[in-house]
Amino acid sequence: MNSIKTVFLMTLMAVILMAVGAVFGGRQGIVVMFMVAMAMNFFSYWFSDSIVLRMYHAGEVGPDHRLYRIVAELVQRADMPMPKVYIIPTDVPNAFATGRSPSHAAVAATEGIIAMLNDDEIRGVLGHELSHILHRDILISTIVATFAGAISMLANIAQWSAIFGGGRNSDDDNGGIIGLLVTIIVAPLAAMLIQLSISRTREYMADDEGGRMTDEPLALARALEKIDAYARHRVLPGATEATAHMCIINPFSGVRRGMASLFSTHPSTADRIARLEKLDRELHG
């Protein structure tokens, strides 16, 4: 069901892109903005692992490290390639996965998460992150970002064209003032909400896969509860809005409350825990 929802939302994003492009620049507008966005996000996709790991000052660890051994155990169970394993030097607990494919992937966890969680809970967190790698969520997020970026570019161009009188005249306008307002205001907002919805859907999928991979959904639930409680008081050093969706708990959850939580990249932790408890009952009765 989550996979079907992702496909539907990605299709909807493509439809919005085509509609906005047609209103503002016809077929040429769609193609040009899509190609520009593709070029930007291709670079981000290809080099995302090294860029993000450098941002967080992550250091690679080998087989002697506790984290590496748990990852090795899980990848053998999941029959997938061994990713590189990194430690982030901060006491704020969090973790993420990155890389362009299962054979070119990395898993990173903070010193804080290693100190806070027991082995079962760390196993649950790593199962969640390995699920992102298995399902190629980095590729999916890049494709979605490409659509959203192209829509935003078209909206910005339409806005400045309207301000300086360079827009299309009323004779060949494909929507008049209504079409212009939709292009400038509604389309970018819709694209952002779809992007956030896809991110949340992939988090649910990773929770489910992580719980099944370790056969201990409640261990992952306990880990999420502990990490979330910490994140409400301290932001992960080096975290940015562009990388927040990668973390197992949004590092800005402490500063996003009330209406702001509607624009979070992650579902509510309480909802994720409830789903994991339901999965545990399904697996163990």
Coil, strand, or helix at residue 54?
A: helix
Cβ neighbours of residue 197 closer than 8 Å, sequence gap 6 or more: 9
Token pair 């992580």 is found at: 210
- Residue 213 Cα to chain centre, angstroms: 21
DSSP code, position 247: B
Residue type, 272: R
Q: Assess contact for 177 and 183: CB atoms under 8 A.
A: no
Angle at 245 between CA 84 and CA 275, to 5 degrees: 95
Is position 129 annotated as part of the catalytic site? yes
* Alpha-carbon span 200 to 128, nearest angstrom: 13
Determine the Cα–Cα distance for residues 153 and 147; give it in Å rounded to an integer.
Answer: 10
Alpha carbon separation from 242 to 51, 70, 141, 246 (Å, rounded): 12, 28, 11, 9
Catalytic entry in 129, 203, 209, 216: 129
Tokens 């169970």 sit on residue: 77
- Provide the β-strand partners of residue 88: 110
| Inter-CA distances, 121 with 214, 216, 269, Å | 10, 9, 15
Positions annotated as catalytic residues are 129
